[in-house]
Copies of this chain bind each other. A is one copy, B any other.
Amino acid sequence: MAYRTTALRIDLDHALRERIINAALARVAEGGFACLTMQALADDVGIATGSLYRHVRNKGDLASEVFALASQREVDALAVTMKAEGSPVRRLAAGVERFAARAWDSRQLAFALIAEPVDPQVDEQRLFYREAYAELFVELLHEGVALGVFRVQQINLVAACLVGAIAEALVGPLSPPARAAREAGYPAPSLIDVSQALVTFCLRAVGAQLPEEEPQS
């Protein structure tokens, strides 16, 4: 009996913790890490703040966990696209397009993950996940170089460049000021514009022949 009670208790704790993390992720997706306060989160979940602290040590840990969860989803989604069938050129383009489209669909979350000023603990995670993205590019670059469709010598460095370029290009269009300008009716680049410019930038940067470009004479 004692064992069953304990097992049930663990299941309940586990389910509650999952609810907490999902509610925290929803907060960040809605208003960035700035909106992730323990009080508001406890209200969302419908528990007392004191109970919340029994499941999450502090705000830094929580932000860090939410960041890791959301980032891992992005890395996984990008991995599926970049490891699919097709030429490395096509897969690099598709990966960039997918990353941009997912960021566009969930701008506040994307900005929070890429650039929102936040706890050093989350900055640590940013460095870690940028490595994870870079590894996907390293793999693809090796393939493309072996096939002679990419002209790259320092593969690790160029992979980092791609990660930096893509992230930085999205910071502007995704940022709160850009959103405010758009909502106020100022012209802003569309997803198609941003996505195409990024794909062109990345393909050229790795020395790939662009589909629409004739050789220079």
**Which A residues form the contact surface with B (CB < 8 A)?**
115-124, 126-127, 130, 153-154, 156-158, 160-169, 171-173, 175, 189, 193-194, 197-198, 201-202, 204-207, 209, 215-217
A171-B127, A215-B215, A215-B216 are known contacts. Are A154 and B117 too (CB-CB below 8 A)? no
Q: Complex formed: what's the CA distance from A160 to B172 in Å? A: 8
Name the B residues within 8 Å of A194 (CB-CB). Answer: 154, 157
Closest to A170 in B: B160
Assess the A163–B172 pair: CB atoms within 8 A: no
Q: Complex formed: what's the CA distance from A176 to B202 in Å? A: 28
Assess the B117–A124 pair: CB atoms within 8 A: yes
In the complex, which of the residues B121, B153, B162, B175 contacts A165, with contact meaning CB atoms closer than 8 Å? B162
From DSSP, what is the main secondary structure of chain A's interface residues?
helix
Measured CB to CB, the closest approach of chain B to A88, in angstroms, equals 16
Name the B residues within 8 Å of A165 (CB-CB). Answer: 161-162, 164-165, 168, 205
Assess the A169–B157 pair: CB atoms within 8 A: yes
Identify which of A158, A189, A217 gathers the most chain B CB atoms within 10 Å of its CB.
A158
Measured CB to CB, the closest approach of chain B to A133, in angstroms, equals 10
Name the B residues within 8 Å of A164 (CB-CB). Answer: 164-169, 171
Assess the A168–B216 pair: CB atoms within 8 A: no
Assess the B130–A168 pair: CB atoms within 8 A: yes
Assess the B154–A197 pair: CB atoms within 8 A: yes
Q: Complex formed: what's the CA distance from A156 to B175 in Å? A: 14
Q: Complex formed: what's the CA distance from A127 to B162 in Å? A: 19
Name the B residues within 8 Å of A130 (CB-CB). Answer: 168, 171
In the complex, which of the residues B120, B127, B156, B209 contacts A216, with contact meaning CB atoms closer than 8 Å? B209
Assess the A118–B123 pair: CB atoms within 8 A: yes
Assess the A160–B168 pair: CB atoms within 8 A: yes
Q: Complex formed: what's the CA distance from A126 to B119 in Å? A: 14
Identify which of A127, A193, A215 gathers the most chain B CB atoms within 10 Å of its CB.
A127
Beyond the given pairs A117-B124, A164-B168, A164-B169, 6 more chain A to chain B contacts, judged by CB atoms under 8 angstroms and listed by A's residue number, are: A116-B123, A157-B169, A157-B198, A161-B198, A164-B165, A204-B206
